[in-house]
Amino acid sequence: MKLFVGLGNPGPKYAGNRHNIGFMALERIAEDHGFGPWKSRFQGVVSEGLLGREKVLLLCPATFMNLSGQSVGEAMRFYKLTPADVTVFHDELDLAPGKCRVKTGGGHAGHNGLRSIHQHIGADYDRVRLGIGHPGHKDAVSGYVLRDFAKAEQGWLDDLLRGIADGAAQLAAGDSGKFMNAVALRVNPPRAATGRPGAAAGANPAQAAKTDAAPAPEDNRSPLQKLADKFR
């Protein structure tokens, strides 16, 4: 079994925050791959399913970011997993918006969620670093990550989340290269050839991918956020 962990904060106040992009990534994986319903377990909410041949548990801690390691450690002990079985999806200030990188081990770079996980399971787990950009000054970081993504950012955000779901099976199988290729095809799709049958003249495939996203509902909490709120 593999454990995919999304980092974020529970509750409607934080649902659309940049800091919650890890939650968003897991929700898209669950939706696109037909995972089971979200249930309250391990001080968080979980959903089980298959990615390729791998059984995968998706976990979104409901402990708030700086205590995420408690939830991760509890799930690992229950299933007798090692850090090598764990992949954490989190926001990354040091990557440009929409960029994605896979990394194994290393420091937490001041990220409170990673700091907590380090304390509970060590540093030898995989991370999927999801770029949100930097506000430009360290004093502005807290307010920046706890603000919602702007409307102008919804296009690249949707492309990134779709790409993560597209490549999730390859990631679970340990092929980070194919995972990154799947993300790149969504974020930087190849240009359509001029005159290609069925393609509108001057059509931009990247823009087309952005325009088919459903409008956000008035209550912007995800199903897992709603479940987490229920058990808080």
Supply the pLDDT for residue 80: 98
Which domains can be identified in the chain, with CATH numbers? 2-230 (3.40.50.1470)
- The answer to whether residue 86 scores a pLDDT higher than 50 is yes
Per residue in 134-147, is it b (16+ CB within 10 Å) or e — as a string? bbeeeeeeeebbee
Q: What is the pLDDT of residues 99-130, one digit of tens each?
A: 999 999 999 988 999 999 999 999 999 999 99
- The predicted structure's pLDDT at residue 194: 53
Q: Which residues of 2-35 are buried (b: 16+ CB within 10 A; e: fewer)?
A: bbbbbbbbbbeebbbbbbbbbbbbbbbbbeebeb
pLDDT at 48: 98
Q: What are phi and psi of 87, to 5 degrees?
A: -125, 125
Cβ contacts of 232 within 8 Å, gap of 6 or more: 10, 11, 62
Per residue in 164-192, pLDDT (tens digit) is: 999 999 999 999 999 999 999 999 888 76
Tens-digit pLDDT profile for residues 23-69: 999 999 999 999 999 999 999 999 999 999 999 999 999 999 999 99
Catalytic residues: 19
